[in-house]
Amino acid sequence: MIERAVEAQQRPVRILAITDEVDERLYGPGIRARCGTVDLVLSCGDLPGYYLDYVASMLQAPLYGVHGNHDASLASSDAADRPQGWGMDELHTRVVREQGLLIGGFDGSLLYNRGPYQYSEEGMRLQVARMVPRLLANRLRYGRYLDILVTHAPPRDIHDLPDLCHRGFNVFRWFLRTFRPQYHLHGHIHVYDNRTVTKTGFCDTVVLNTYPYRELTVAAPA
């Protein structure tokens, strides 16, 4: 009886997460048939504005996301095509409540050539610190800190690679241990071999590499 009462207080939210590559399976008229009803689109970065706009518009779903280390190079000289004009609600250092879910995120990758959207480990720790007050407020108000963390880079030693550019952030491991979101969605690591691990449990969190797109259903409080 108690289990059924808990289930009745939750509802499924269908999410499409996209990252790093314009996928022809989504960038075409078949997207609605392929994806069906989508409640929310989340971008993990390194995607051009026209693609983000197309996916969100065709699915008629709100779009939130973070920027990747290549986003600046994907923009044209037209001011309307710069990252801040891409029609995406940006999550960097923010927490939003959407579809009953608490969602936050962080831009960028580990610093490797001083380009845009790159952070040293210390720099990312400072970005994380900016979000902490909101997370604590969430705990008081909703009984939990965060449901979904969206980043471009992965945590250190989870889905990352040994080269500096594709190495994950240590502070993300601390974040997952401390705030225990249901999911951590990331991009940045391209997958060319279907034997590559793209789903890993860490503490109470499921870490998912969303390259080039991933569909998931998350239970949200009604």
Main-chain dihedrals φ then ψ at residue 9, nearest 5 degrees: -90, 0
Confidence bin at 100 (pLDDT 50/70/90): very high
Instruction: Render pLDDT for 141-174 as a digit per residue (tens, 0 to 9).
Output: 999 999 999 999 999 999 999 999 999 999 999 9
Residue 19 in 3-state DSSP?
coil
Other CB atoms within 10 A of residue 42 CB: 27
Q: Judge contact between 63 and 41, C-beta under 8 A.
A: yes
The predicted model scores a pTM of: 0.92
Complete domains list, the chain, with CATH: 2-221 (3.60.21.10)
Question: What tokens were used for 185?
Answer: 């969605």
